[in-house]
């Protein structure tokens, strides 16, 4: 008999094919399942495992309602701020994520946002789609150079380091702030700042790669945006909770920031539409890992975690030990 699995959201076809081959699972179609539906489906099917994505909040109350026959909850994401890991641990429920496999694609997207925010990608694209038809003077529609600038990275984990590697190809000086200093081989020439506020005045470009938690909530606010040099470019592919979006909008409107590239928002998918009214913002809908190769690898990694636990082995990517 195949193990029983509940999947809370539509996932790529290749991952679905593997699920069909290895699990007994009702394949989700259409709408994302909410917490009540997931709990009901887990109970009705006597599921052994749950595969979820970051749209589903596994808070303490929901974790308490997960039936005992569920042996693991695996999230199809590297971020796990939607999971109350302490509650899962208290209950002895293994929870896993999908690190590593999305590092390079998420770093690519961060760089896409840096380039588009600095070089006015959204505005150029809009002009072309309207038919162009007017030559711009040599002093019009100018972006700011990325090459040779100083890039500040908050959160020098796997993705932050991958962004730093790309930045070196753009001749950038890389500075970073992290909870701990990296060893020299990982630092690879990047300069460490223990104090985030002390780093900010040096950041001509600032890219966020820190986890969302109590320590990083609203870390970018009116005070910290003001510490950036005038004309800085701001990028966030981490989590919206790191940013006070009203303060960001003020900094963009006043021209203190030259531009911003945003893939994540405080509220998703119903993000703050005021951001979309600003010309100097380049927006993407939380798509850091959205390539064929990476999404497939994430799904397989989540399934590998599930299979390991159901086979009585330790999870590959445990969120608690």
Contact stretch for ligand DGY (CB under 6 A) within 1-9, 31-39, 74-82, 107-115: 74-82
Is residue 236 part of the contact set for ligand DGY (CB under 6 A)?
no
Residue 99's CB: how many other CB atoms inside 10 A? 18
Nearest Cα residue to 71 out of 297, 318, 298? 318
259 binds ligand DGY (CB under 6 A): no
**What's the rounded Cα separation, in Å, for the pair 235 and 281?**
10
DSSP 8-state secondary structure symbol assigned to residue 194: S
**DSSP secondary structure letter of residue 126:** H
- Rg over alpha carbons for the chain, rounded to the nearest Å, is 21
Q: Is 102 near ligand DGY (CB under 6 A)?
A: yes
> Near ligand DGY by CB under 6 A, which window of 16-24, 71-79, 127-135, 190-198?
71-79
Query: Closest residue (Cβ) to ligand DGY?
Result: 79
Helices 13-22 and 292-310, packing angle to 10 deg: 20
Using rule CB under 6 A, residue 62 touches ligand DGY: no
Is 29 among the residues known to form the active site? no
Q: Annotated catalytic, 268?
A: yes
CA distance 255 to 148: 22
Decide: is 78 part of the binding site for ligand DGY (CB under 6 A).
Answer: yes
DSSP string, 242-295: GB-HHHHHHHHHHTSEEEEEES--SSSSS--HHHHT-TTEEE--S-TT-SHHHH
Q: Is 15 in the site for ligand DGY (CB under 6 A)?
A: no
105 near ligand DGY (CB under 6 A) = no
User: Which is catalytic among the residues 239, 245, 295, 301?
Assistant: 239
Tell me 72's DSSP state.
Answer: E
Q: Please confirm, yes or no, whether 286 is among the known catalytic residues.
A: yes
Query: Which one of the listed residues 268, 277, 279, 293 is annotated catalytic?
Result: 268
C-alpha count within 13 angstroms, C-beta hemisphere, residue 321: 5
Residue number with CB closer to ligand DGY (52 or 199): 52
Kindly give the pairing relationship between strand 232-236 and strand 173-177: unpaired
Binds ligand DGY by CB under 6 A, chosen from 152, 157, 288, 299: 288
Residue 96 in the binding site for ligand DGY (CB under 6 A): no
Closest distance of CB 291 from ligand DGY, Å: 12
> Which is nearer to ligand DGY, 102 or 175 (by Cβ)?
102
Contact (Cβ atoms closer than 8 angstroms) between residue 121 and residue 115? yes
Q: Does 294 bind ligand DGY (CB under 6 A)?
A: no
Tell me the CA distances in angstroms from 307 to 15, 62, 172, one per residue in order.
Answer: 14, 23, 43
Question: Does 77 sit near ligand DGY (CB under 6 A)?
Answer: yes
249 contacts ligand DGY (rule: CB under 6 A) = no
8 scored as a contact of ligand DGY (CB under 6 A): no
Tell whether residue 54 is a contact of ligand DGY (CB under 6 A).
yes
Does position 224 interact with ligand DGY (CB under 6 A)? The reply is no
C-alpha span between 140 and 8 (Å, rounded): 49
Q: Which is nearer to ligand DGY, 146 or 260 (CB)?
A: 260
In angstroms, give the least distance from the CB of 188 to ligand DGY.
Answer: 24
Binding of residue 12 to ligand DGY (CB under 6 A): no
**φ, ψ dihedrals at 150, nearest 5°:** -95, 125
3-state SS, residue 212: coil
Q: Annotated catalytic sites, by residue?
A: 239, 268, 286
For binding to ligand DGY (CB under 6 A), which residues are involved?
54, 77-79, 102, 288-289
């Amino acid at each position: 008999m195949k193990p029983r699995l509940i999947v809370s959201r539509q996932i790529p076809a290749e991952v679905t094919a593997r699920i069909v081959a290895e699990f007994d699972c009702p394949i989700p179609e259409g709408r994302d399942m909410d917490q009540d539906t997931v709990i009901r489906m887990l109970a009705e099917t006597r599921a052994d495992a749950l595969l979820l994505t970051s749209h589903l909040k596994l808070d303490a109350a929901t974790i308490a309602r997960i039936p005992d026959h569920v042996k693991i909850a695996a999230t199809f994401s590297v971020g796990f701020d939607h999971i109350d890991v302490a509650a899962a641990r208290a209950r002895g429920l293994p929870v896993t994520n999908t690190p590593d496999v999305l590092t390079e694609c998420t770093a690519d997207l961060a760089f896409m946002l840096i380039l588009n925010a600095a070089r006015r990608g959204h505005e150029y694209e809009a002009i072309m789609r309207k038919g162009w038809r007017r030559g711009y003077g040599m002093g019009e529609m100018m972006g700011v150079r990325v090459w040779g600038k100083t890039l500040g990275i908050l959160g020098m984990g796997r993705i932050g380091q991958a962004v730093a590697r790309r930045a070196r190809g753009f001749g950038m000086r890389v500075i970073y702030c992290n909870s701990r200093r990296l060893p020299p081989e990982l630092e690879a020439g990047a300069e460490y700042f223990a104090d985030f506020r002390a780093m900010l005045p040096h950041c001509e470009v600032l890219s966020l790669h820190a986890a969302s938690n109590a320590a990083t909530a609203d870390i970018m606010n009116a005070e910290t945006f003001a510490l950036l040099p005038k004309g800085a470019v701001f990028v966030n592919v981490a989590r919206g909770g790191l940013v006070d979006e009203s303060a960001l909008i003020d900094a963009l409107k006043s021209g203190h920031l030259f531009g911003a590239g945003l893939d994540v928002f405080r509220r998703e998918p119903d993000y703050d539409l005021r951001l979309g009214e600003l010309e100097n913002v380049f927006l993407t809908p939380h798509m850091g890992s959205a390539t064929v190769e990476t999404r497939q690898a994430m799904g397989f990694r989540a399934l590998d975690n599930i299979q390991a636990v159901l086979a009585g082995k330790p999870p590959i990517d445990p969120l608690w030990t």
